[in-house]
Amino acid sequence: MIETILLAGALIFLLPVWWAVRKRRVASQDQKGESLRRLEEVIKSSQLTNDGFFRSLDLIQKNLESLLARAESAEQRMRHLMLQPGSEKREQYTAAALLLREGQEPNRVASMLNLPLPQVEIVGELQRMAGKDNKLTVRKKRNEESTGRDNPMPTKVAARREKSSQPILLVDVIKKAANDSSVHGFDNGSYAGTGA
């Protein structure tokens, strides 16, 4: 009987201990399950965030590529416009510069050469700016030549040779045509805005 009492006392003592251990195991399994669910949620949200980030990077890259393509096409158009003005335009601007140098009005030069007035005015401004620099260099050259010359005045024959060897300038032709038209009474204003 003592054994039964001891066994019953041990069972009464061990039963609550066993119950507490089992309860702890169930609680720890529930905590592990909960932590696994939380971990899965965090992983899913991080995947969504990653996907969104990489999608936005792809969109930014596409936008940058399209912007780069547009910039390259604009650069090509600009090069095309600047590098190929044509010999006609080049001659027109040269003629405009020469006519402005001779004292013609920008309005008249623009109408004669069929060029926009602002561009003719820019040519005049550039010519004035270049003229200031040229005056300084011409003075320096004259000073250097005057110190290095033996004969200060060239002969009349040499002057005639220089004059006769000069090429015919487009400005001279335009001046002559303008003078002829004004002598004959033609109105140059009626031809303004027409061109070849």
Residue at 150 is within a domain = no
Residue at 59 is within a domain = no
Residue 11 CA to its chain's centroid (Å): 91
Residue at 28 is within a domain = no
Instruction: Tell me if residue 90 falls in helix, strand or coil.
Output: helix
Residue at 24 is within a domain = no
Residue at 104 is within a domain = yes
Buried b vs exposed e over 56-92: b needs ≥16 C-beta within 10 Å? eeeeeeeeeeeeeeeeeeeeeeeeeeeeeeeeeeeeb
In sequence order, what are the residues at sequence separation of 6 or more whose Cβ sits closer than 8 angstroms to the Cβ of residue 192? 111
> Residue 2: what pLDDT?
79
Identify the domain containing residue 112 by its residue range. 86-145
Mean pLDDT in each 10-residue stretch from start to end of the chain (196 residues)?
A: 78 81 83 87 92 94 93 82 63 85 88 86 82 62 60 54 55 69 52 46
Distance, in Å, from the CA atom of 120 to the CA atom of 94, rounded to the nearest integer, reads 10
Residue at 125 is within a domain = yes
Residue at 65 is within a domain = no
> Residue 192: what pLDDT?
47
> Residue 141: what pLDDT?
65
- The answer to whether the pTM exceeds 0.85 is no
Angle between helices 86-101 and 117-148 (to 10 degrees): 60
Residue at 113 is within a domain = yes
Tell me how many domains the chain contains: 1
Distance, in Å, from the CA atom of 150 to the CA atom of 158, rounded to the nearest integer, reads 16
> Residue 190: what pLDDT?
46
> Residue 36: what pLDDT?
87
Q: How many other CB atoms sit within 10 Å of the CB of residue 104?
A: 20
> Residue 195: what pLDDT?
47
